[in-house]
Amino acid sequence: MHADDASDTIAPGAGSDLLAGGFLFAWAGVGWIGYLTNERLRASLESPSPDPGPALLALIVLWGLTLGGTAVTASGVWRRARGGRLRDGLEDARTHLRPAAFVVTLILLAVLLRPLGFLPAAGVFTACWLYGLTAGARLSLRHAALALLGGVLLPLGLQLVFAGLLLVPLPR
Amino acid sequence: MELFANLALGMQTAFSLEALLFCFAGVFVGTFVGALPGIGPLVAISVTLPLTFGLDSTIALIMLAGIFYGAQYGGSVTSILLNLPGTASTAVTALDGYPMTRDGRAGLALFTNAAASFAGSSFAIILVMAFAPAIGRIAMDFNSTEYFSVMVLGLVAASTLSNGSTIKSFAMITFGLILGLVGMDLNSGAQRYTFGILQLTDGLSLIAVAMGMFGVAEIINKIAAPDSTATQRGAGGIGLRAMLPRRDELRRFWGPTGRGAALGSMVGALPGAGPSIASFMAYAVEKRVSRDPGKFGKGAIEGVAAPESANNASVQAAFIPTLSLGIPGDVVMAVLLGAMMMHGVVPGPAFISNEPAMFWALVVSFWIGNVMLLVLNIPLIGLFVKLVSIPGRFLYPTVMFFICMGSYSINNSTFDVYVTLVFGVLGYILLRFGFQPAPVLLGFILGPLIEENLRRSLVIARGDPMVFLDRPVSVALLSLSLLLILAPILRHLVVRWRGARHAG
């Protein structure tokens, strides 16, 4: 993050507002499904007890999120109506390729921790990313050797310090 | 007299060898993580939290708090020397600090940073000592309606005062509130948003959500440009002589530092507002009161002193609502609040009267920590600059493991690691869409507390919502919330009215 940079995030535009609004709607949708399919929760609103029940705040905040999604979407529609393009505020999809790959390997790491154990799973993850972030698309033996070394030393060091010295349990 | 007795009580613990050692460890780690862009105090506190389970709770809190305020110092050093703010609250320092470095006045900028930070912190610590116990005593008489109103004010302040779009912040708060409701309702036993997943019955883990949204999300974000922060060198080796200011420079230091401290303390004490807002506001105020606003952005000493004093004052003042009301002053405070609860400490109005030794030891340790930081910052600047040069390819996988280990070790649960990763992806998407993740965490923390007080108030009033307007404190707090919501609309109307008058 450089101080000169306006922000790490994308600038607001018709496209980004519409997508952001859709994102909020998606979460509100998940919330509404959770609420509407929960008979016991809905029934608590009808209860004669003075306690308004567990549905009251749930309902209020769901409406809040839905309204927030509507407002952000409306802002996108307004920008579009004023001549904004759908592309405005959206980044090139390629920007997200490396983050997406990182997420995929993180999921793999979490899944492989149990069958492989911490050291091998963490070793593969570290070696892959050391290589990926150093060499990029180029194939280089030197970088591969460095990545392999890092893949062995880093998890070993962590295991030694955390599990060995500080007695912090490692994920497995 | 009572104050001195209390301070003496605090000193007994704070000056013990163990407390000094862990205070030093906290401020050192804090300065380090503050200097590293992408790893803020929140991740550092979350990761080190499991390490503190074996410690006495006071010592643990001294260390965790040290990480928080130490990070402000570290972030400023890299802002000044490398134009790389380690934390968002120190970004504004770079506006004048970095030009000072380019002009060969890095030493002076660092001195200004250290002295203003210390002055701002000291001012706010005095306020913590004066106001936290008093507010705690007043809050002992609060009933559930007043608690509810304080929390509403905190959430409204977080959405209206945060950087970026108010509507988006509001949406994030509601999203956080929903996350806070996940799990089983303790009064009725009803499940909410658990979707049949057994592990969600107890709700989402605060540490997992926080580390995901702030740690993993930031790393994923940085992965897009992995070595942008790496291998910038050449700012180390600044001697003490280069740091000493001339008399005229010293004269220009006091005013901005004082104003920054006052403003930062005010913002920090407000639930929901954080050090970033404090430093940006202090810079804006300084520019406005200056006789020569054109010098800002070109290496003005005032442009370093005011935001640094403000963000450090804000961090210390954030302890006032956290310790006296149990309401976090900002998002890192929210995690610190969670850490206190894990240590069996219940923050809130009764905290200071129930745990006076812990409270006063914490306050005394703030001062000790700030003195340590003042001393640390001068000889170790070269080291911190070198640490910032660690390439991303080594840093990011290592930090990822720290995060995974941190979230796993709280409950020894792999499910929490999955939750961390899911919230990491979610946090990345939010960042890309221009949403601030901080209000999510505040909503998440305050959600269950708001619900508890809302329901309790309505039960007492037999369902009458007017109960929130029965007591003057509650009315005042809700009015203030309404004012904060209406302020941007009113400002807009005034600007339009003025424009129309000028045109007419």
State ipTM. 0.85
The residue with greater pLDDT, B226 or B348, is B348
Q: How many CB atoms lie within 10 A of CB A109?
A: 25
- Cβ density class A50-60: b for 16+ within 10 Å, e for less: eebbbbbbbbe
Mean pLDDT of B140-155: 87
Three-state secondary structure string covering B389-428? CCCHHHHHHHHHHHHHHHHHHHHCCHHHHHHHHHHHHHHH
Task: Determine the pLDDT at residue B187.
Answer: 83
Burial (0-12, 13-18, 19+ Cβ within 10 Å), B121? buried
Rounded to the nearest angstrom, the minimum Cα separation between A72 and chain B is 7
A161 secondary structure, DSSP code: I
8 Å CB contact between B133 and B334: no
DSSP states of B231-291: ---------HHHHPPPHHHHHHHHHHHHHHHHHHHHHHHSTT--HHHHHHHHHHHHHHH-S
State the distance between the two ends of chain B, measured CA to CA, in whole angstroms. Answer: 64
B412 contacts in chain A (CB < 8 Å): 169
CA distances from A132 to A47, A102, A141, A143, B249 (A): 58, 10, 13, 9, 49
Within 13 Å of residue A3, how many CA atoms lie on the same side as its CB? 26
Closest alpha carbon within chain B to A170: B405
Nearest in space to B68 (alpha carbons), one of B119, B33, B92: B33
Q: A84 CA to chain B: closest CA distance, Å?
A: 17
Across chain A, mean pLDDT equals 82
Can you state the angle between helices B356-377 and B17-35, rounded to 10 degrees? 50
Least confident of B17-31, B64-78, B236-250: B236-250
CB contact under 8 A, B394 and A150: yes
A-facing residues of B in 160-199 (CB < 8 A) are 165, 167-168, 170-171, 173-175, 177-178, 181, 185, 187-188, 190-193, 195
Reference B218, options B84, B43, B417; nearest CA is: B43
Chain A CB within 8 Å of residue B85 CB: yes
Q: Is the pLDDT at B179 greater than 90, yes or no?
A: yes
Verify whether the Cβ–Cβ distance A38 to B190 is below 8 Å: yes
d(CA B1, CA B319): 23
pLDDT at A172 over 70: no
Residue B486's CB: how many other CB atoms inside 10 A? 12
Of B99-108, B300-309, B411-420, B432-441, where does the model show the most confidence? B300-309
Determine the pLDDT at residue B5.
87
Give the three-class secondary structure for A59.
Answer: helix
Which residue in chain A is spatially nearest to B444 when comparing CA positions? A61
Quick: pLDDT tens for A18-73. Answer: 888 999 999 999 999 999 999 988 988 888 888 888 999 999 999 999 999 999 99
Query: Chain A contacts of B50, Cβ < 8 Å?
Result: 168
Position B291 scores a pLDDT of 85
Identify any residues that bridge with B183 across adjacent strands, giving them in sequence order: B192
Q: Which residue of A has its CA nearest to B175?
A: A65
* pLDDT (average), residues B29-51: 80
Tokens of B208: 């997992």
Confidence of residue A2 (pLDDT cuts 50, 70, 90): very low
SS3 state at B161: helix
* DSSP single-letter state for residue B357: H
- pLDDT at residue B304, rounded to an integer: 92
Residue of A32, A60, A61, A168 to mutate, testing the B interface (most B Cβ within 10 Å of its Cβ) = A61
Does the beta-carbon distance from A54 to B417 stay under 8 Å? no
Tell me the pLDDT band of A3, cut-offs 50, 70 and 90: very low
How much is the average pLDDT of B288-305? 88
pLDDT of residue A98: 85
* DSSP bridge partners of B184: B191
Give B167-215 as a DSSP string: HHHHHHHHHHHHHHH-EE-TTT--EES-TT-GGGTT---HHHHHIIIII
Question: Which residue in A has a C-alpha nearest to residue B436's C-alpha?
Answer: A9
Residues 6+ apart with CB under 8 A from A31: A58, A61, A62, A65, B178, B193
Over residues A112-126, the mean pLDDT reads 86
Secondary structure letter of residue A11 according to DSSP: P
**pLDDT score of B236 more than 60:** no
pLDDT confidence of residue A138: 64
Please indicate whether, in this complex, the C-beta atoms of B393 and A31 are within 8 angstroms of each other: no
pLDDT tops 90 at residue A11: no
Q: Residue A134 to residues A5, A142, B227, B344: CA-CA distances in angstroms? A: 24, 10, 9, 45
Rounded to whole angstroms, how far apart are CA atoms A162 and B265?
Answer: 38
Indicate the residue of A3, A38, A158 with minimum beta-carbon distance to B91. Answer: A3
pLDDT value at residue B200: 92
What value does the mean pLDDT take over residues B51-66? Answer: 89
Q: Sign of dihedral through CA atoms B202, B208, B209, B210? A: positive
Put simply, the answer to whether A20 touches B168 (Cβ < 8 Å) is: yes
- The gap from C-alpha B34 to its chain's centroid, in whole angstroms, comes to 12
Mean pLDDT of the A141-166 span:
84
Whether B414 contacts A8, CB under 8 Å: no
Neighbouring-strand partners of residue B117:
none
pLDDT-based confidence at residue B92 (cuts at 50, 70, 90): confident
Cβ–Cβ under 8 Å, residues B337 and B328:
yes
Rg of chain B, C-alpha, whole Å: 22
Task: Tell me the average pLDDT of chain B.
Answer: 85
Average pLDDT over residues B180-193: 90
List of residues 6+ apart from A167 with CB closer than 8 A = none
Q: What percent of chain B has pLDDT over 70?
A: 92
Contacting residues of A for B413, CB less than 8 Å apart? none
Contact B424 A129 (CB under 8 A): no
pLDDT at B261: 94
pLDDT at A125 over 60: yes
Upper half-sphere CA count for residue B180 (Cβ side, 13 Å): 25
CA distance B494 to chain A (A): 22
Q: Is B159 on the interface with A (CB under 8 A)?
A: no
Say if CB B345 and CB B57 are below 8 A apart: yes
pLDDT (0 to 100) of residue A22: 93
| Residue B1's pLDDT band (cuts 50, 70, 90) | low
Counting Cβ atoms within 10 Å, is residue B422 exposed (0-12), middle (13-18) or buried (19+)? middle
Q: Taking CB atoms and an 8 Å limit, are B432 and A10 in contact across chains?
A: yes
CB of B403 closer than 8 Å to CB of B43: yes
CA atoms within 13 A on the CB side of B417: 25
Residue with the two structure tokens 């905040």: A61
Q: What is the pLDDT of residue B89?
A: 76
Residue B100 or B53, more confident: B100
Asked whether the beta carbons of residue A122 and residue B401 sit closer than 8 angstroms, the reply is yes
Total number of domains constituting chain B: 1
pLDDT of B233 higher than 50? no
Rounded average pLDDT over B180-192: 90
A75-79, A106-110, B322-326, B379-383: least confident range: B379-383
Which residue from B minimizes the CA distance to A126? B397
CA angle, B407 then B385 then B75, to 5°: 55
Task: Give yes or no for B433 touching A (CB within 8 A).
Answer: yes
Confidence of residue B45 (pLDDT cuts 50, 70, 90): confident
CB spacing of B223 vs A133 below 8 angstroms:
yes
Mind spelling out the 3-state secondary structure of A113-146?
Answer: HHHHCHHHHHHHHHHHHHHHHHHCCCCCHHHHHH
Per-residue pLDDT of B468-502, as tens digits, reads: 998 898 999 999 989 988 887 888 788 888 888 87
B191-192 and B183-184 strand pairing: antiparallel
Per the structure, the complete domain to which residue B302 belongs is given by: 2-503
Whether the per-residue pLDDT at A5 is higher than 50: the answer is no
